[in-house]
Amino acid sequence: MNESIILFIPLCSQIREDPDVASAVAAIRSLLEFLKRDQSETILGLRENMTKAIQRLEETDSSVAVSSGGELFLRFISLTSLEHPDLSQCKNVMIERGELFLKKISLSRGKVGKLCHTFIKDGAKILTHSSSRVVLKVLENAAADNKRFTVYVTESQPDSAGKLMAQKLHNLNIPVTVVLDAAVGYIMEKVDLVIVGAEGVVESGGVINKIGTYQMAVCSKAHNKPFYVVAESFKFVRLYPLNQQDVPDRFKYKADILKTVKDLNQEHPMIDYTPPSLITLLFTDLGVLTPSAVSDELIKLYL
């Protein structure tokens, strides 16, 4: 599969050039490129190659969003009538649909930001977890709306992504404090609301996010603080975990660790699952949803 080599290059370069782009968007962009260069003779062959390409992408970057984005991309481009006798015509239709999909999801972050920032009142104290570009967009919009608020960010070990988030917020002139992961319970009584991003939104309405999110959700429930999740719609995935153990291993650990390490019990998972009972509202580009409405939207998206 020579095309796979061609895939990695645009993906890596895109992520390096534009760190603002979500990894799923970059993946979909590479998939589109792959589609344009694909040389299979039949539609079935095309689909097979696309599925293989998605698998290869998942091996590089094992986040939930890449897998869900890839699957949604595949469904979206084939959700049209492919009855043309000429393969190149079909391919053109699919490429058109692909471009449309890409355009839609590039705008989704802006839509979410616009929806959510009205929920931030003047003088609010916000708690967030690790580094999420969507949350950053939301806070940016709120700041542009001349609202005064302070932000607490958790450090989020083991990769200290929280410090990165604090730096970005500082550049936006938003007062920010970095707290330890262990200090979430301590700080909860001071804050007014919690906003986190998501790597994936599952069928039950729960979310999969950086490790530590579940803890934060439980604390906020105990203190009766609203717990908001902001996520784009391409992160909706057809998983239904019952508990932490039920999340598949390929999402829990980074791709290179999965390949090299034998005993996963010694490794620490990078994500955890927050059940829908702890989430107040989800902000997506499809609108503001309660956790039970997510299943409704998923049925519409996938069926």
Residues of the shown chain interacting with another protein in the complex, contacts defined by CB under 8 A:
203-205, 240, 242-243, 246, 276-277, 292, 295-296, 299, 303
Of residues 10 and 269, the one with the C-beta less far from another protein: 269
Q: Token pair of 102, please?
A: 């890409």
To another protein, the closest distance from the beta carbon of 218 in angstroms equals: 12
Q: Can you tell me the distance from the alpha carbon of 210 to that of 269, in angstroms, rounded to the nearest whole number?
A: 9
Of residues 50 and 219, the one with the C-beta less far from another protein: 219
Largest separation between any pair of C-alpha atoms in the chain: 65
To another protein, the closest distance from the beta carbon of 286 in angstroms equals: 15
Of residues 99 and 296, the one with the C-beta less far from another protein: 296
Of residues 111 and 252, the one with the C-beta less far from another protein: 252
Of residues 8 and 302, the one with the C-beta less far from another protein: 302
To another protein, the closest distance from the beta carbon of 252 in angstroms equals: 15
Q: To 10 degrees, what angle do helices 2-17 and 43-60 make?
A: 50
- Are the C-beta atoms of 141 and 167 separated by less than 8 Å? no
To another protein, the closest distance from the beta carbon of 281 in angstroms equals: 15
Q: How many CB atoms lie within 10 A of CB 292?
A: 10
Q: Which residues contact 294 (CB under 8 A, 6 or more apart)?
A: 201, 203, 204, 205, 236, 276, 282
Of residues 5 and 303, the one with the C-beta less far from another protein: 303
> What amino acid occupies position 59?
E
Angstrom distances, CA of residue 168 to CA of 58, 109, 163, 183, 230: 28, 17, 9, 22, 18
Residue with tokens 């616009």, as numbered in its chain? 114
Q: How many CA atoms lie within 13 A of 248 on its CB side?
A: 13
Q: Is 9 helix (H, G, I), strand (E, B) or coil?
A: helix
To another protein, the closest distance from the beta carbon of 201 in angstroms equals: 13
Of residues 154 and 204, the one with the C-beta less far from another protein: 204
Q: Is 149 helix (H, G, I), strand (E, B) or coil?
A: strand
To another protein, the closest distance from the beta carbon of 143 in angstroms equals: 36
To another protein, the closest distance from the beta carbon of 141 in angstroms equals: 31
Of residues 190 and 250, the one with the C-beta less far from another protein: 250
To another protein, the closest distance from the beta carbon of 294 in angstroms equals: 9
Q: Which region, left, alpha or beta, applies to residue 212 given φ > 0 means left and ψ of -120 to 50 means alpha?
A: left
